[in-house]
Structure 1
Amino acid sequence: MQRIKLLCDSNDRKTALALIGTDETAYLSDSIIKINNQISDNIRKRLNKSQSDFVKVNSRNDKLGYTVIIVSMILIIFVFHFLIKETSKTKKISKELREEKENYRITLNSLAEGLITTNKEGHVVYMNPSAERLTGWNWREAKKQQLNTVFNVVNEETGKPVENIVSRIMNDGKKIEWENNTLLKSKDSGAFIISNNGSPLLDLNGSMTGVVLVFDDITERKKAEKKIKQLSVAVEQSPASVVITDLKGNIQYVNQKFINVTGYSAEDVMGKNSRILKSGYTSAAEYENLWKRITSGLEWRGELHNKKKNGEFYWELALISPIINAKGEIISFLAVKEDITERKKTEEKILKSEEQYRDLVDNITDLICTHDLDGKVLSMNSAAEKLTGFKFDPQQTMNIKDLLASNAKSEFDDYMTGIKKNGFGHGLMKIKTHSGKIRIWEYNNSLKTTGVSTAIVRGYARDITEQKKAEKELKKSEARLKEAQIIAHISNWEIDFVSNTQTWSDEFYRIYGISKAEVQPSTELFLSFMHPEDAGFAQKKVQEGFDSLKDSSFNFRFIRKDGATRHGYSEWRFEFDKKGNPLRLYGILQDITDRKEAEEKLKLLEQKILEQKIQEQKNIAKAIIKAEEKERNHMGQELHDNVNQILAGTKMYLGMVGKDDEKTKASIKYPMELIDNAINEIRSISHRNVTPQKNIDLIDLLQSLFDKLEKNSGLKTELKFDLSDPIKNDDLVLNIYRIIQEEINNILKHAAAKNVSISLETIDNRIQIITTDDGKGFNLNKIRNGIGISNMINRIETFNGKMEIISSPGNGCEIMIEIPF
């Protein structure tokens, strides 16, 4: 008991409590009571003996004896009084010990920490209720069990059992403290992370009699510590700058991103006012509005033009909000800032590019516009306003149908049906201008469904009214020419079979450039003027006429006497008698050189017009494709760099809201999972849309596409390439990538293929792309030109390429594309 008192006085409460629970102290209390009972028995025996002796002495002894007896009696009374007093004191001590033991027992039972004592063999002697709760063992079940059986602990990280603590303490005689990563496995399959230590139990002689263990459940504390650590790591490793200031704007904390962006170290800015970042470009009014909002408990969001340590300017997108304590008081300010310098530079480039594109669109002489699927005009260029005579106003409704001539309005529904079905449309439109004139437009429009919230139609048209008038006049001229040719430059000839004579008109001689007086008309003379390349054909044609006696005609080239090569036309007919015998053969010879040359010029003109039109259409298509790529890149970057950051910030704040409240944490778990899904989906969309604009490595892009394809779809892919001649046109490289990307999308959507192979090869300044799959194939006669195939065809034709598809049901598909470069 003396040792317990000393331990209590030295505040070693756990060891004292453990010692009370041992068999040694229980034995000590029982010994005190036993000694007290023995003393009481001895006193009674001595009193009885003294009384007997007194009677004997009284009967035979003298006065001296009485004296001795009296003295003895006094001594006996004195001893008896002393013994009674000691007995009373012993009983009082025993009572106090029992009360103290009860108090210690209550204390042990009330402890939140678990406490277990063992003997020196490692058998459990005592467990308090907290130990019973944590281990899952009842004290009576656990008593005399080996400690390792009841106190089943393993290393939290490795899962390996912790060594026998009783043996270590008994061998070393020292107190042992374990790391806080010890895991206690409960009998009822529960598990707790515990903080624990063990100490030796000593008797009054200082000898070890066992071990006392004290341990505590720190599972929730460890979880909280882990959350705090994760939050700290997230803030420190955040891709956005994080700054915390006091109420005056003096910096209290910056993360690593801030240091990387500004060039300032933490020591440079700690305690300094955040105005050290000011560049002078952000207006005082903006700062005034910022402070007004955050000091009133609201958040502020905006762009700041700041200055780095080295004097370099940069842009930040900042979200600044007050930090409020439990009393509702603002204690500091938190700023989360994203470096948007590159984005601002990109926006400037895009703006410049858009201005250049707008300049091109506004200054082109052909019409460019967009309209929705109801025909409502969404935009039009200056040329369109000039051609129609209408000034475009976005606030007012203008419809394509309203621009059509009265007798052409019924064609609008067919036009829109074709656009929706095929994804494109081309043809002629009759337009009524603001002044009431009827004009003819040749249009080539396409449907855009990707990268827009609602589908739109991109319109390109040119006014061919004058061209149509010219064509009409040309036809009239051809008719007049034909009539004139009947009169002029046409000779007649005749062979009389009866008299066996031939006659030529004067025009015949003029056409050949010969003198009538110098020659005698004959078939041989006629054929002698044939062009060498046409001579055999002409001989054969004439012989066939004589043999078959059938009317006929043919075109040929002949060489005049003066050496000029001309084009001729001859037509003949037979005249028969009643019996069917030929009487004569008559016909015409016409010099059609002028007509031929006119036809050739017309063909060349038409070809030139067609080539110009095709080239202009291709230029427009290239411009549109290039603008679309820029828009896709811009949208992908905006989604990745801005929206994803917003979602990540939202997730972080949701995590902070739920960190101390399990109910709140459970409520926001699903929204946070949705945010994760949104971030991943946005990242996937961004990666599919964003491609390099210059120095594009086609093989790297395709390899990346195939790697993702194998990973996400399970398709077996093979990419073969032999690009011996480098492709230096970035627009062409990007279009080839988009074409292959569209092929892959079609295979995934429709083919149900297991294997896909793509080969790229450059041959004689042509790039050949062959794509094969082992899917279900399709009937080429039933192929529908959907948006995907239409986009491929447009991209291929834009670069003067061609495409061939080989497929049949059940036999997969092969697509061969050739594009010159």
Structure 2
Amino acid sequence: MLCRAGTILAGAKKHADSGCLGAAQKSNILPAMSESEEVVCQPYIARERTLMRNDSTRSNISSDFQKALAQKEADAQWDYEKLLKLIAAVPDAYLILSPNLNIRLVSDAYLAATLSAREDLLGKYIFDALPENPATPDANAAENLHNSLKRVLNTKEPHQMELQRYAAPIPAHLGGGIEEKHWSPLNTPVLNNSAEVCYIIHKITEVTELVRSQEKVKDLKEERRLLQATLDQLQNIQQKLEEEQRRLEDAQTLGHIGSFEAAYPYDAISWSDELYRIHGLKPQSENIVFEAYAAFIHPDDRERYEKALEGFYKENKELNHIYRIVRRDGVERDLHLKGEIVRDATNRAILVKGTIQDITEQVQAQQKIRENEMLLREAEQVGHVGSYYGDIDTLTFRFSEGMFSLLGLEPEESVISLEQIDASSHPDDALVVRQILDQAIRNKQPYEYLRRVYRRDRQVRYLHSTGKVKCDSDGKAVKLIGIVHDITERKQAEEKIRQSELHFRTLIDNTPDVITRWDKDLRIVFNNQSFETNSDFPVPLLLLQETVETEQPENKRLPLKEKIREVLQSGETLDHYNSYALPHGRVYYHSRLVPEFSEDGTIQSVLVIARDISALKRLEKENLELRLNQQRELLLTIMETQEAERRRIAEALHNGIGQLLYGAKLNLDKLTKEVVTQDAIKMKASVIKTEEMLDQAIAQARTISHELTPSVLEHFGLEVAMKQICATLNTEKLEFQCLVFSLRNELERHLQISIYRMAQELANNIVKHAQATEASLLLREQKDSLVLLAEDNGKGFELEHIQTKGIGIKSLQDRVKLLSGTIRINSAPGQGTLIQITLPLTT
């Protein structure tokens, strides 16, 4: 491509110097060149002039040549003007721009497209001639064109712009105003021989009608889209309505809710399928009329039902009624009826509609709840238990009836504050309880506490509470839920046990005997004060010395630890004798090694009771060596008396009870033979004789039993001896209580011993066989009789198998029989055992 002068001269095949430029300047199509254009086009003009001079020289500048040259210049001028007209008349819309973006050439098509005049454009800066329309600042046509032209100048390559929107001003002679135009611009650079841009061809292709057609198509598409969206929405609504209808039917089925309606005046009622099913009918199997429906109403509810309908229709009352029906299959159901009257604009009733729900399960559940609440109240009353739940924000509580009862209050107030509870509590306990509750709420952890309360009847009760903190879905502590147990009796029992233990400990610590307890590893785990404060320092060592005395057989002369190990293995009680030489003489000890059993029957420790028998030994030695003959004779007399007494008891047992029992056996053998011969007179005489022998044996047995009395009974009495039994057997796993009431002081000695031995036997049987956690012994005087009760909550046994329980029960029965008493046993597997022994006081 050539610059403007080069293009014109090349088109004419000849070039003129000032004539081309002058002709161009005179033309209203192409204005004078700018200084920059002249500088760019000067090399082309000079070259053409040189060619023309060379041509003139070669032709010797003849006159004919001058004429021809003038003719050529005239032709060139004519061609140039014709070229300019041709360019202006091209059908496309063009602007020819200089590098500084001044308009040099405008096609007629451009003027028509932009509704502008040539004299308003030529020679002007393009953005002055075509400024941005302030009425359409969002079009950005000028900015987009400026960026494109700048890009062409920089890259020297054509640039196709995107579709542009331009608000073209309409000339005043055409009516004025603004017309929106759309065109597609193309900017093409014109380069000189030095590859510099000398012109830019700005071509626009108007696409206004095409854009408007596209917008119409777009509007049609949008309208179609809206129609389709509306159609889709209607379809969705239809689907939702169908889904809601299905859900309604499902909800009616799941909730056992049926609907009905009837128009005025009416006879038949329209029922939903579920309402048919509620009444035990197949859906839509028959038409329901008001008169026929009355047959479903339970006879006991029919009058209430009719009154409810009468109030609904005549008095315009709310229809909200619960009644029972009897289905045709005989099944009773509880129904909840709700109805309303639909009225028109004149307040005339036109429709009755409503719902009926089968609430049989709810009614049964409510009945079950009422029964459970009644059972809970009874259980709380029997177990001295109450329950509560409290609001943490307000520190107010709601109590069960049992809780009101524990506090000695009437259930008048529905809500009780913590301040009210603290006001009736021991001051020290109120502060501690608040601290425990605060810590439980902070940590959201379970809690427990003991509170002493003062009831209005002036009783002090010990209440033990356990509870937990309940949180909401956000993890915030909102409720306190707990139960309270009245443990006053337990506290009183614990206090009695503590006092009993204190008395027992005082007794143990003040006894002169040395008492120790040894575990399975042969370590001392308990000792009384005599073990620590004995004036003879080697007491612990004495217990470990070899046996040196002759009171035991040779095979039993073992160290104390060996004896303890043997007791742990065999469970038998053993004796141990030892001595130790001191500067002032030899010290002698007699120890009793007693096994101690755990609840499961295994041996867990050994109790060693060591008594200092040094004085006795010294006395024996003095009696043997130093005492006067009188003392020696007295000792011999005592020993002879003891031996005589032993012989007397032995003879009494052998010659008295033994002979009587042997005689009774012979009579029983004889009686057996007489039963066979059916001799009634002889049989009766044998029975009488046998009874006499047994009576004599019983009498002699009582006489002997009077002489055998336990020491604890002799020194402390029957009540202390009884309580010592329970205190000895009481463990963490077995709570053993002994109670003695209303005993006369003058009980016979043999009777005290017998009761003590029987209580011992009963207690030992409970420990060994019952597997109980609670047990008790109770002794009381009742109408000239002594009653001994032994009760436990252990495993129990079958009464018909009582003979298989070993000799314990049999021995107990024999003892009771010897005392002319009675024994009653009540037991069953899993229900514990109760044994009652009644002994007459007059016998």
Please give the range of the TM-score, normalised by the shorter of the 2 chains.
0.3 to 0.5
Larger Rg over CA atoms: 2
TM (normalized to structure 2)? 0.41
Higher relative contact order (CA 8 A, sep 6+): 1
